[in-house]
Chain A
Amino acid sequence: MPKSLLIISRQAPWSGPSAREALDIVLAGGAFDLPIGLLFLDDGVFQLAAKQDAKALQQKDLSANLQALPMFGVEELFVCGDSSTARGLEGFALAEAQVLSAPEITVLIDRYDQVITL
């Protein structure tokens, strides 16, 4: 049985390549059919904000890649409720993401064999 891996993505989408590079680990894991989860925490929740305009920053949009996650076999998608509330986010551009409380996140992290925080 393969080991499970949780990626905790903590960076805003336009603060550098970190959010994209965290997502790339997840997509690669999905391509190898590995049990992989993705948690958006702290500024990472900004990746799920609606109506982002990447073009205005001469960047590429991450949202399309995020939407593709379930197609890549990545269905364990989570978002920290406290982080999004603190940042005034309501509703997420990723309908599949499950909103978790702080105690639920503790349980979630425990459930995975390995964790990478980026």
Chain B
Amino acid sequence: MHAVLLIESAMKFAIALFSAAHAPSSRRALLFAQAALAGGHEIVRLFFYQDGVYNASASVVTPQDELDVPRQWRAFVTDHQLDGVVCIAAALRRGVLNEEEAKRYQRDAVSAGAPWELSGLGQLHDAVQDADRLICFGGA
């Protein structure tokens, strides 16, 4: 009975994250995303924009006794094979590059490899259209 209720009320969420990895709102976004899947809901896409792009950076080093949010995101997106998109313009501006962009702009540091995809704002609009709900974290 409980399972049936879950399926009937299952929602498609798009999650947009705008705050840096160390911000409380980024931790909340992660917990929300985990709870959404645990509750039988679907995440059509994660979209990292503005300072949210730092959540995709493998260069972030978190003190050992603190929650490593970028690492948790990586594991979460990989384990559940989610669509994790990082806005390419926002990422370039903040030095969060994948291999292709590092090569293109002749930079040494690659920090946003798999499972992240660097793409444009069209991916945000596309997710908004696809989802029942857009949930934003870390905006103004």
**Cβ B140 vs Cβ A25 within 8 A:** no
- Residue of B124, B134, B139 ringed by the most chain A CB atoms within 10 A: B139
User: Which residues of chain B are within 8 angstroms of A116 by Cβ–Cβ distance?
Assistant: 16, 134, 136, 139
User: Which residues of chain B are within 8 angstroms of A18 by Cβ–Cβ distance?
Assistant: 50, 140
A2 within 8 A of B: yes
**Cβ B140 vs Cβ A32 within 8 A:** no
- The interface-forming segment of A3-11, A53-61, A62-70, A88-96 is A3-11
> In the complex the two chains form, what is the Cα distance from A21 to B121 in whole Å?
10
B residues neighboring A (CB under 8 Å): 16, 18, 49-50, 89-90, 93, 120-122, 124-125, 128-129, 133-134, 136, 139-140
Besides A18-B50, A117-B140, 14 other CB < 8 A contacts?
A: A5-B125, A10-B140, A17-B50, A21-B49, A21-B50, A25-B49, A25-B121, A28-B124, A32-B125, A114-B128, A114-B133, A116-B16, A117-B139, A118-B18
